[in-house]
Amino acid sequence: MDAAARLTATRFPVWTLAICTSAVLVFGSAAIQAMLIYDRNAIADGELWRFITGNITHFSTTHLDYDVVAFLIVGTIIEVRGYRYFSMLCLSAATLIGIVLYFAEPTMRYYAGLSGVATAAVAYLCLHGLTEKGTWRWLCVAVLVGLSAKIAIELAFGKSWLLETGMQEFVPVPLSHFVGASAALLLFALVRLSESGRSTRHASVL
């Protein structure tokens, strides 16, 4: 579907609003937050849903505001532009983040935040933008380059640039951003391969 046709088929950002609303509601209840946050010990005891739900919990109001605003903007653009499989992206990114952190960060007891999934959304949006033309395509190229540099710097130094701007209420986990972006790249590649395969079969039939 080209850009014009996609914008004609504009729809309401259902998944984006559902996830943002869930994050806000969860933050408003300490009891619910305690049941959903990524807790390594609880996961070891069989509470596997925390791999996913930890992504919609937050440590502070500032933490929540940063994540929800970023995700709301990017997710809305994705859904309005009609890029498919957004719900699959969110679920797969959240799951992979939880699992990878469990095995790669054995000393980390708690994890919370939507930033890894938001990073996945940014990458997914811009990867789709590369297939389009005009200013939008080059904007997506610039954002992807910046996102890649940001993640590389975070991984190299083991911290986020947010710490340098005075946000000390929580410790960012750069690995979650890398995993989120990787999940977006993997899903995008699978979608493109699937679409290419369907086009080839259709051409063969004709």
Domains of the chain: 3-197 (1.20.1540.10)
Instruction: Classify burial at 111, counting beta carbons within 10 Å of its beta carbon; exposed 0-12, middle 13-18, buried 19 or more.
Output: buried
pLDDT given at position 161: 57
Give the pLDDT band (50/70/90) at residue 93: very high
Contacts 24+ apart (CB under 8 A), 36-44: 37/110, 37/111, 37/112, 38/98, 38/101, 38/110, 38/111, 38/112, 39/109, 39/110, 40/102, 40/106, 40/108, 40/109, 40/110, 41/109, 43/98, 43/102
Which own/partner contact pairs does 86-89 have at CB distance under 8 Å and 24+ positions apart?
A: 86/15, 86/16, 86/121, 86/124, 87/15, 88/187, 89/120, 89/121, 89/124, 89/183, 89/184, 89/187
Nearest partner of 127 among 86, 71, 170, judged by Cα: 86
Q: Among 103-112, 128-137, 138-147, 169-178, name the one with the lowest average pLDDT.
A: 169-178
Q: Per-residue pLDDT tens for 42-72?
A: 999 999 999 999 999 999 999 999 999 999 9
Q: How many residues does the chain have?
A: 206
**pLDDT surpasses 50 at 8:** no
Q: Distance (Å, rounded) from C-alpha 69 to C-alpha 121? A: 13
Quick: pLDDT tens for 12-43.
999 999 999 999 999 999 999 999 999 999 99
Mean pLDDT value across residues 93-119 = 97
pLDDT at residue 175 above 50? Answer: yes
Q: What is the pLDDT of residue 110?
A: 96
pLDDT at 158: 77
User: Across all residues in the chain, what is the average pLDDT?
Assistant: 89
The residue-averaged pLDDT of 144-153 equals 96
